Amino acid sequence: MNFFKLNALTVAIAATLAVDTAQAVPAAQLDLLGQNMMAAAVNNHGDVVGTQLGLEYKAWLWRNGAFTYLPHAANPQGIADASAVDLNDAGVVIGRSYGGIKGNDSPTYWINGTVTEVGLGNTSDFMAINNNGTMVIGNNLYDTVSGIWTDTVSFYGKAINDSGTAAGYQSGQNAQAALYSGGSTTLLPQYADDWYSVANAINSQGVAVGYGGNGGLYSHAVIWENGQAHKLDSFKANSSYHADTISDNGQVVGAFRDWSGFSSGAFLWTASSGMKDLNDLVDPAAGMTLISATDINEHGQIVGLAHSQDGKGFGYLLTIAESIWTGAHNGSWDDAANWDWNMRPSELQQVSLDSDTSKTVIGPAANAQIKGLALGTQNLDGYTTLKLNGGDISPESLHLMIGGKGILTGDGRINGDVYSSGKIVADNLYAYNVINQAGGVLTGNGAIHANLGNEGEIRVAAGQNLLVDGDNHANVGKMEVISGELEVNGNLTNYPNSGVIAGRNATLRFNGGLHNVASVALTGGYNDISGDIVNHDGGKIAITGLGTSSVFYDDMVNDGEIKTATGAGSIFLGTVSGNGEFTGGGQVFFEGDLRPGHSPGYMSVDGDVSFGTGNTLTMEIGGYQRGTEYDAFDVNGVLNLGGALDITLWNGFSAKAGDLFTLIEADSFLGDFSQIFFPELAGLHFDLLRDANHISLSVASTSAVPLPASGWLMLTSLLGGLFNQRRRVVVQA
HSE, side-chain direction, 13 A CA sphere, residue 590: 29
120-144 per-residue burial string, b: 16 or more CB within 10 A, e: under 16? beebebbbbbbeebbbbbbbbbbeb
Of 387, 390, 270, give the one whose Cα is nearest residue 336: 270
User: In the 8-state DSSP scheme, what is residue 188?
Assistant: P
* Segment 429-459, tens digit of pLDDT: 999 999 999 999 999 999 999 999 999 999 9
Question: Does a cis peptide bond (omega within 30 degrees of 0) precede residue 600?
Answer: yes
Write down the domain spans for the chain.
49-134
Tell me if 397 sits within 8 A of 374, measured CB to CB. Answer: no
User: What pLDDT score does 153 carry?
Assistant: 87
Report d(CA 633, CA 652) in Å as an integer.
22
User: In the 8-state DSSP scheme, what is residue 71?
Assistant: P
Of 292, 235, 288, 343, give the one whose Cα is nearest residue 31: 288
Tell me if 702 sits within 8 A of 685, measured CB to CB. Answer: yes
* 676 strand-pairing partners: 645, 729
Say how far residue 436 (Cα) sits from the centre of its chain.
12
Residue type, 358: S
User: What pLDDT score does 120 carry?
Assistant: 61
Calculate the average pLDDT of the chain.
90
Name, in order, each residue with C-beta under 8 angstroms of 181's C-beta and a sequence gap of 6 or more: 163, 164, 165, 166
Kindly list the averaged pLDDT for each block of 10 residues, start to end, along the chain of length 733: 39 43 65 96 98 91 94 69 94 85 74 84 72 93 87 93 97 91 96 96 98 91 97 91 96 94 90 92 94 96 97 96 92 94 91 94 95 94 97 91 98 97 98 97 98 98 98 98 99 96 98 98 97 98 97 98 98 97 98 94 97 97 97 98 97 94 98 95 93 97 57 35 43 44
Name, in order, each residue with C-beta under 8 angstroms of 576's C-beta and a sequence gap of 6 or more: 555, 556, 557, 558, 590, 592, 593, 594, 595
With 0-12 CB in 10 A as exposed, 13-18 as middle and 19+ as buried, what is 650?
Answer: middle
φ/ψ (deg, to 5) at 538: 100, -15
508-542 per-residue burial string, b: 16 or more CB within 10 A, e: under 16? bbbbbbbbbbbbbbbbbbebbbbbbbbbbeebbbb
Tell me if 691 sits within 8 A of 666, measured CB to CB. Answer: no
Residue 29: count other Cβ atoms within 10 Å of its Cβ: 17
User: In the 8-state DSSP scheme, what is residue 138?
Assistant: B
User: What pLDDT score does 101 carry?
Assistant: 61
Report d(CA 377, CA 23) in Å as an integer.
9
Q: Is 472 left (phi over 0), alpha (psi -120 to 50) or beta?
A: beta
Report d(CA 639, CA 628) in Å as an integer.
22
Residue type, 229: A
Name, in order, each residue with C-beta under 8 angstroms of 66's C-beta and a sequence gap of 6 or more: none
Report the relative pairing of strands 184-187 and 176-181 from DSSP bridges.
Answer: antiparallel
User: In the 8-state DSSP scheme, what is residue 191?
Assistant: P
